[in-house]
Structure 1
Amino acid sequence: MSLSFVAAPRGGASAHPRSVPRHPVVETLRPYLADPDVTDVFVNGDGALFIDRGRGIARIDGWSVDAAAARDLAVGLIALGGRHLDDATPCADVRWDGGIRVHAVLPPIACAGTTISIRLPGTGVPDLDDLGRRGAFDAATGDRLAGLVAGRENVLVTGATGAGKTTLLAALLGRVPPHERIVTIEDVAELRIAHPHHVRLEARQANLEGVGAIPLGRLLREALRMRPDRLVVGECRGEEVRELLTALNTGHDGGAGTVHASGLDEVPARLEALGALAGMDDRALARQVVSAIGAVVHIERGADGIRRVTGIARPVLDGDRLGMRVRS
């Protein structure tokens, strides 16, 4: 299939510095966190700093911290998100205001030393027309993608971590008519949509006592009571796939979600694995998916750092199992 989506760099005339918390612990990383072109920042166990500007990960020469400073940095960054990081809780994940995600792991869990991973949101709102003008796809492909939204197809966007699933999904949702109500459910609220009626729900982790967690499955059930015209799950990672498929099979057309998969041919196995977590056998899962999902759009990030849509498929039954058929 000849189809290409190339994600343009985040910079340019419309880019602006990213909002970063004003706190001393952030200062050593501020130039990279505020850069609108940077998508990821990493501090490795050896104290080295790496960043990704959308074209692959590169080391920052001359930047380093010792083991004690790396630990203090990780503890401080996690504290900014309201959580605690210490020997008793050596792994933590938080979201700062503005959507910056910070994950940290202390030794000895991180064998080589403290490891910090920071995911940075874009500084603009993705727009399907803008992606087309940047050469992301031709007019025919743009019409095709917009047609999925206008036709109220339930769309599943698939790809690996960092492939651009959220960006593409947000651009598609920007085409939803303004009189419709979009309810989005995410582990970490990242979707930013150019739409006047967007309700955002975010899962909550348990507190230090291990209580208070609100998982995606619970949020999905709550969202069904909010009369959504478009129901969106940022990423299905477990048993909530059952609730999503049930919802999309009961009149909630025009919904969407994302699932982690390395290729279109791996999507059936991935969905079967999620279905197993929800107590669904392969036969039941296949029939639910074929009935609920109208199109699967797969996006990949190549070795050169460029993100491309590599296929659009339709779920089909292959005997009693789930299969994929490329949409012409």
Structure 2
Amino acid sequence: MHEIEKLKPLLADERVTDILITSSSKTQVEISGRLTEVEPLFENESQLRSWAQAVFSSCGGRLDLSQPLGEVSVPTDFGLLRIHAVLAGECSLDTQVSLRRHPLRSLSLQELLATNSINLNQLQLIQTILLSKENFVIVGGTGAGKTTLLRAILNEVSSERILTLEENFELALAGNAVALKTRESNHERAGAITLKTLLRNALRMRPDRIVIGEARGEELLLLLQSLN
């Protein structure tokens, strides 16, 4: 996707995990948990706005006055990018873009252990949960590594038929995984595909495991129902 070329100078640094564009005149990157301001990527608000809308259009998403907030994911040579945007207007004074990068290659649990991301007791607990096929929930703050940990856990059972239900394709699992994605309603407010719809269909697809990528608000009730 040629729009991502705009970010290439920043994404070329593998240490960069997040790119935060808070206006056409301010851009920051996160490296090792610290934010650093860099040279702006856009000359003016109009250029930033047009770029953000082009990114969403290329990914099959919508970003316009009727839907000024949105999120898309796109696989690139730099990793899997999750891009959230807010258009200037009623919701924000400036167009803003928040990008998070997930590596295309998932780390293993052993690699997480080697980097002290988890300890031996936690590794053994995870292995016990997987072996007994117990339900589990991963919680944590923004940037805590929830997706990284979940991908590592699920790669331990990659031979099983795993159905992932997500708002955007982020887990990108190898092996025998099947990824399903929600869909927002169209201009007539029809045609939405919700997590509830995906869960109902996933149960008919002979899953060994079902994974809900993220639960917020009303999705928490769906999560509790799916755990039963």
* TM-score normalised by length of structure 1: 0.62
Provide the rounded CA distance (Å) in 1 between the counterparts of 2:4 and 2:130: 40
Provide the rounded CA distance (Å) in 2 between the counterparts of 1:113 and 1:247: 39
Offset at 1:238?
A: 3.8
1:212–1:37 CA distance, 2 compared to 1 (3 A): farther
1:238–1:217 CA distance, 2 compared to 1 (3 A): farther
Whether 2:68 is the aligned partner of 1:90: answer yes
Q: Which residue of 2 aligns with 1:160?
A: 141
Tell me which of 168, 183, 207 is aligned to 1:228.
207
1:1-328 correspondence to structure 2 within 5 Å: 21=1, 23=2, 25-45=3-23, 47-61=25-39, 63=41, 65-98=43-76, 99-176=80-157, 178=159, 180-194=160-174, 196-249=175-228
User: Matched residue pairs, number?
Assistant: 225
Could you tell me which runs of 5 or more consecutive residues in structure 1 were left unpaired when the two chains were aligned.
1-20, 250-328
Provide the rounded CA distance (Å) in 1 between the counterparts of 2:66 and 2:210: 38
Contact in 1 for aligned 2:104/2:172 (Cα 8 Å):
no
1:153–1:89 CA distance, 2 compared to 1 (3 A): closer
Contact in 2 for aligned 1:186/1:202 (Cα 8 Å):
yes
Q: Deviations over 1:256-295 (max 9, x none)?
A: xxxxxxxxxxxxxxxxxxxxxxxxxxxxxxxxxxxxxxxx
1:75 is paired with a residue whose SS is helix
1:177–1:81 CA distance, 2 compared to 1 (3 A): closer
Offset at 1:139?
A: 3.0
Task: List, as ranges, runs of 4+ consecutive aligned residues in structure 1 with deviation greater than 6 Å.
Answer: none
Highest RCO, 1 vs 2 (Cα 8 Å, sep ≥ 6): 1
Offset at 1:138?
A: 3.6
Contact in 1 for aligned 2:162/2:211 (Cα 8 Å):
yes
Q: Which amino acid aligns with 2:104?
A: T
* TM-score normalised by length of structure 2: 0.86
Provide the rounded CA distance (Å) in 2 between the counterparts of 1:197 and 1:83: 27
Say which one has the larger Rg.
1
Provide the rounded CA distance (Å) in 2 between the counterparts of 1:220 and 1:164: 25
Provide the rounded CA distance (Å) in 1 between the counterparts of 2:14 and 2:104: 6
Q: Deviations over 1:93-112 (max 9, x none)?
A: 22224542222222223543
Offset at 1:62?
A: 6.1
1:225 is paired with a residue whose SS is coil
- Quick check: 205-214 or 227-236, which moved more? 205-214
Contact in 1 for aligned 2:72/2:83 (Cα 8 Å):
yes
